[in-house]
Amino acid sequence: MGQLTSEAPRPSRSWQDWLGFVGILATAVWTLTGPNWLGIFVAVPVLYDVGMAVTFLVRGRAKRGVKGVVPRIVAYGSSFIVAIFLRVSGHWSPSSIGSTAFPPAVEFAGALLVPVSFVFAFWPLWHMRRSFSIEPTARDLVTSGPYAFARHPIYTIYGINYLGVILFRPSLVLAIVLACWAALTYVRMGYEERVLTEAFPEYASYRKRVGAFGPRFWHRTADPNTAGRGAESR
């Protein structure tokens, strides 16, 4: 989403910023010290988490946020449900992650998708760095870079990442967890859409012009003020 032309003074860091910074760094350490089925490639998601943590120290002031507990539960659930499942099951129940069930070529493709998708995730993270948050929050409106092609490039990349995970280690339990992630993310996008539309009137035309997960190849005729899906947090 394109940066606003006026640059506001950088706000002092709140306790929420520091809590987010420390919390995401703890997630990176947790990933690094847990069961490692990615081998040396585990460095890529760990570096991504470090980059995400830094955004909490450079992001702008919130202009509008959600009210109530449910949107926050949805946002944090969407952010961490898969990571927690993989970490806990890898330690206590490795069989729930699955074992090789596809041909070696498919397994290799799945294993490769995970680090590669995280590499691509740095691009939208960089553009979102001043507006990043886990809870649905409006800071600055960004429509540049990958956000010129998709309103949710990070969620798109996470979907590709999780496709790689299930190709590499297929299991019914993992499939259920990923379905829960998809449902939570869909609801989360609705909350984010509402906050951004309230904070930035121009977001309605952006949403009409740009698809949720990729380029829109047709002209949308629906009322842009109706509830829909829009820019992301994590």
pLDDT for 150 equals: 95
- Lowest mean pLDDT: which of 109-118, 135-144, 153-162, 225-234? 225-234
DSSP letter string over 150-187?
-S-HHHHHHHHHHHHHHHHS--HHHHHHHHHHHHHHHH
Averaged pLDDT score across all residues of the chain: 84
Asked if 150 and 214 count as a contact pair (C-beta separation under 8 A), the reply is: yes
Gap between the Cα atoms of 218 and 168, Å rounded: 35
pLDDT for 145 equals: 94
CATH number (1.10.1060.10, 3.90.420.10, 1.20.120.1630, 3.40.50.1000) of 15-209 reads 1.20.120.1630
Q: Parse the chain into domains and list their residue ranges.
A: 15-209
Asked if residue 151 has pLDDT above 80, the reply is yes
Asked if residue 176 has pLDDT above 80, the reply is yes
Q: What is the mean pLDDT of residues 38-67?
A: 88
SS3 content of the chain, % helix, strand, coil (to 5): 60, 0, 35
pLDDT tens for each residue of 188-210: 999 999 999 999 999 999 999 99
